[in-house]
Amino acid sequence: MLSRNRPSQKKRSKRDREQAYTGGFVYTPEEGLYDNVAVFDFRSLYPTVMVAHNISPEMLGVEACEDEFIIDELDYSFCQDEQGFFPELVENLVSSRYSIKEKMKNMEEGSEKYSSLYSRQQAQKILANSFYGYLGYSGARWYSREAAEATTYLGRKYIQDTIETAEEMGFEMVYGDTDSVMLRKDNIEESMDGFLEEVNSQLPKFMELEFEGLFKRGFFTSKDSGEGAKKKYALIDEKANLKITGFEQVRRDWSPIAKKTQKKQDKRKEKWQHHAKEGLAEELIEVIDNLERAILSADEDSALLQGVKMVSDQLYEKLETEGLERIDAEGEEFDPNLHKAVDKKDDGKKVIEEKRKGYMFGDKVLREQPECTNPAHVTAQTL
């Protein structure tokens, strides 16, 4: 398949003048505090809609088509005879992402490998979710307002059908936003599995509603007008884990409990990020050691030496911006918290030779800290 030409400015201007299509559906919450809130969300709603219904520009309104998916309300049809270009790309991304997420379940959260896979699947999520928006972008080579509109229309349909099913099964609708619903009901644990089975039995292949979590409390705020605020809520589960959305900063007009809750959540995020960076730095100082050994063994004027030195310097500079600090030992007072004595010369307390570089991250020494007694004039390796 050949790539289409980039649209001219005239064509882009014409596209910009077209009527905007409707986005996601949001169910406005009632302000208040709710008990036992269950959260369900669609697994990659827009991407899976595109795959399930073969939504792609070249599949729109195909005349010689044996199997069509017709959206009567929009008067659009998408051919199902073969998989379209965009659905194939999106399916590969979504499938790869879920494969990565399965691997992550057996890993230690916060580990270097976990963080790496988390970043990869997050990138795939963002990329997959961008396809329908790209189709509606006036500067896109593969522009198709119809395909973009069909995707959001079906997204609204599936979330509204889910809300209808929930209410028929006796759930109280608390909040809904684009691809998720928040429900409550007495003894809700007894009804959640049945609800999921009922909704998923009505969905086409590749689409799925998933259970995200059960929260013992949910707080929903309101606008100045008194109407419930969209995309602004706080949830807390049985383990006191907080999920806060829409409260980006602590406002002066918030209540003390709201300020305290937001600050606590910010500290939790900062702590997790710090531990992730610390773990990565601890692994990479071994890489720096190996690079420095290679530098010492290389010919002084060799291209290899220059290349290795450049990589080593760039790596250290990057880690330094994240909080890594090299410990300078030679000529300094011996500090058992920072240095490990490997040889003693005579009376005194200064380090006269450094055997190995040491590093700190914030206020933590990254290398193991063995005990040292009777500090004297020493040959030392920093911990």
Whether 93 and 127 have beta carbons less than 8 Å apart is answered as yes
Q: Is the pLDDT of residue 56 over 80?
A: yes
Q: Is the pLDDT of residue 371 over 60?
A: no
Mean pLDDT of 332-355: 56
Residue type, 13: S
Whether 329 and 351 have beta carbons less than 8 Å apart is answered as yes
* Separation CA 381–CA 383 (nearest Å): 6
Q: How sure is the predictor about 95, in pLDDT bands with cuts at 50, 70 and 90?
A: very high
222 in any annotated domain: yes
Do 160 and 286 lie in one domain? The reply is no
89 in any annotated domain: yes
Mean pLDDT of 359-378: 52
Do 234 and 312 lie in one domain? The reply is no
Nearest to 243, CA basis, from 231, 256, 253: 231
Please state which of the ranges 177-186, 199-208, 296-305 shows the lowest mean pLDDT.
296-305
256 in any annotated domain: no
Distances (CA, A) of 337 to 129, 334, 368, 369: 50, 9, 10, 7
Please state which of the ranges 123-132, 255-264, 372-381 shows the lowest mean pLDDT.
372-381
Do 240 and 361 lie in one domain? The reply is no
11 in any annotated domain: no
3 in any annotated domain: no
What is the DSSP-derived secondary structure letter of residue 169?
T
88 in any annotated domain: yes
Do 191 and 111 lie in one domain? The reply is yes
Q: What is the CATH number of the domain that holds 349?
A: 2.30.22.10
Do 225 and 100 lie in one domain? The reply is yes
253 in any annotated domain: no
Q: What is the extent of the structural domain holding 152?
A: 20-244
Do 294 and 177 lie in one domain? The reply is no
Distances (CA, A) of 277 to 271, 273, 274, 322: 10, 6, 5, 7
Q: Is the pLDDT of residue 183 over 70?
A: yes
Number of structural domains (the chain) is 2
